[in-house]
Amino acid sequence: MNSQLKLSRLDKLNFDNRFARELPGDPETINRRRQVLGACYSSVLPIKAPQPQMVAYSKEAAELLDLTPEDCESDYFTQIFSGTRLAAGMYPYATCYGGHQFGNWAGQLGDGRAINLGEIVNQRGERWVLQLKGAGPTPYSRTADGLAVLRSSVREFLCSEAMFHLGVPTTRALSLILTGDEVIRDMFYTGNPQAEPGAVVCRVAPSFTRFGNFQIFAARRDTGLLQKLLDYTIRTDFPHLGEPSKEVYITWFEEVCRRTAGMIVHWQRVGFVHGVMNTDNMSILGLTIDYGPYGWLENYDPHWTPNTTDAAEHRYRYGNQPQIAFWNLGQLGNAIYPLIEEVEPLQKAMNAYAETFEQGWQNMIAGKLGLNAYKPETDDELTAELITVLQLVETDMTIFYRNLAKLDNRIDPDNSSEEMLMAPIGEAYYVPEQLTGEYKTRMSNWLRRYIKRTQADGMPNEIRQQKMNAFNPKYVLRNYMAQLAIDKAEQGDFSLVNELLELLRHPYDEQPGKEGFAAKRPDWARQRAGCSTLSCSS
Ligand code: AMP
Ligand code: MG
């Protein structure tokens, strides 16, 4: 009786599958790697997992699908979201897209290891696309296997949900399931391939459409299909813009620019470095998408990127993310140009990126510093000095901002010693020997200016602290934490994956007993792979 109930709810998901219904599909049905012309997607079936085993699921993501924890804990769920069985109404397909990788046009890429199961409309009328990552090859798999390993899947699963709870726009992760298969990966590209456990993550988003979905049709001069995809996107994901027309294409592009700017401001706020901001990894909804060799800034270093593939150029470093998003938007603008045939309105729309980013960045700084509002006449300089001082010695960004709130601004800054001023931020330093007299004087002077600035605001100390604690998370998914969870999961112990999932549901709360996860990166993690740098191998 009970199992029948569970079975029926998963089979009653309300699949609508508008993408596949309204857009042209690939007439060829054989699942072999090739260039797919004249189609937005190819129908393809996930492969069956020999022994699917649930590692973790997100109850908040499940709620989006009207699923309860009981549903998620059923064997049937594990079978469905490992790709082993299809639920009623599913219509699996992989989409065709291209993209610029590291600044160069790469031609057709596509969902090489992502298979959409279809879109559901939930009880609130929201549309959610379900997508399996790592459930087997598609026509877009090129030379790769279409699979994913546990290591990268733990990282994607945990970070998607952590970002959501941090308030950063992101795709979501419903579940993380071991397939029971082994997958061969050369983790360091050193010619030492090894077997790793295979896994499948089910991702959830209103749409997974990327800049590259438009770029591929523009590159192929298939303006008809370009227009079909854009009209579909506007009607489905941007219905508030009205019926598609040339004017609406421009307002659509402007909205993509604004959303992208908003997302980047959040990344900069929390210290997230995406690592592979290729145009095929940019969502038209302004969502963080494709969690690969991403990382979290520990010591504040704008030059840092976790991605070893980008070690020479540092194209996708933390400090460059705003510029790269702008460049990527330029590529999207180029792609839709044939539907507009005027440069000026596209350029104007791109100005909206710069404006939105600047405004958002100022609000973000005001939040991080606990100011009423950002005042360029005083705060430009205050911020510039802070950013310089943060880089003089290894300073943990997350701890620094979180602890800055603890500095009591009711003191008299001019009659406070350096020790007293710096005491709250002491934990943020990695190398005590770097704290020279000169450095301490400079930081203390900044803290004095900062106190005076907050005093001028007249905001009560506790209100300032509350504001700051809502902008500056205490808990982020530090790179070494994800790695510890992976190490355990590879031994069959999923407890740390689940503990981190729970911890990161409340990143701004104090969470007594969990302070260890808010401490700075331990020394052993400084050079260990997965903890400081990552390759794209996943
Ligand atoms: P990424 O930059 O990792 O988001 O991936 C770039 C392209 O490579 C996309 O088209 C992916 O679908 C594809 N890809 C990455 N890994 C695999 C894999 N293991 N099998 C097939 N395609 C893959
Ligand atoms: Mg990708």
* pLDDT at res. 532: 83
Is it the case that residue 194 has pLDDT exceeding 60?
Answer: yes
Q: What is the pLDDT of residues 248-262, one digit of tens each?
A: 999 999 999 999 999
* pLDDT at res. 7: 56
Identify the nearest ligand to the CA of 275 by its number.
1
Question: From residue 462, how far is each of 412, 459, 527 by CA, in Å?
Answer: 17, 8, 39
**What is the C-alpha to C-alpha distance for residues 493 and 55, in angstroms, rounded to an integer?**
9
* 141 Cα–ligand 1 center, Å: 7
Is it the case that residue 3 has pLDDT exceeding 80?
Answer: no
Mapped onto helix, strand or coil, the DSSP state of residue 106 is strand
The residue whose two tokens read 């790592």 is 134
**DSSP H or E run through 368:** helix 344-369
Mapped onto helix, strand or coil, the DSSP state of residue 54 is strand
Half-sphere exposure of 190 (CA within 13 A, CB side): 6
* 385 Cα–ligand 1 center, Å: 41
* Per-residue H/E/C for 440-455: HHHHHHHHHHHHHHHH
Atom of ligand 1 nearest to the CA of 278: 2
**Does the beta carbon of 112 lie inside 6 Å of ligand 1?**
yes
Atom of ligand 1 nearest to the CA of 148: 19
What's the average model confidence in pLDDT over 465-474? 98
Nearest CA to ligand 1 atom 6: 109
**Does the beta carbon of 108 lie inside 6 Å of ligand 1?**
no
**Does the beta carbon of 195 lie inside 6 Å of ligand 1?**
no
Give the active site residue among 111, 181, 280, 310. 280
* 149 Cα–ligand 1 center, Å: 13
* 243 Cα–ligand 2 center, Å: 30
Looking only at the bridges linking them, the beta strands covering 172-185 and 194-205 are: antiparallel
Q: What is the pLDDT of residues 32-79, one digit of tens each?
A: 999 999 999 999 999 999 999 999 999 999 999 999 999 999 999 999
Nearest CA to ligand 1 atom 12: 112
Is it the case that residue 4 has pLDDT exceeding 80?
Answer: no
Q: What is the pLDDT of residues 427-438, one digit of tens each?
A: 999 999 999 999
**Does the beta carbon of 113 lie inside 6 Å of ligand 1?**
yes
Q: What is the pLDDT of residues 477-525, one digit of tens each?
A: 999 999 999 999 999 999 999 999 999 999 999 999 999 999 999 999 9
Q: Is 280 a catalytic residue?
A: yes
Pocket test for ligand 1, best of 36, 44, 131, 141 (most atoms within 8 A of CB): 141
| pLDDT category of residue 535 using cuts at 50, 70 and 90 | confident
**What is the C-alpha to C-alpha distance for residues 153 and 189, in angstroms, rounded to an integer?**
19
Q: What is the pLDDT of residues 6-23, one digit of tens each?
A: 556 899 999 999 999 999
Task: Count the Cβ atoms, other than its own, within 10 Å of residue 343.
Answer: 11
The residue whose two tokens read 């192929």 is 220
Mapped onto helix, strand or coil, the DSSP state of residue 283 is strand
* pLDDT at res. 1: 43
> What does pLDDT average to over the chain?
97
**What is the C-alpha to C-alpha distance for residues 132 and 487, in angstroms, rounded to an integer?**
23
Looking only at the bridges linking them, the beta strands covering 104-108 and 98-101 are: antiparallel
Ion ligand 2 neighbours (CB, 5 A) are 281, 290
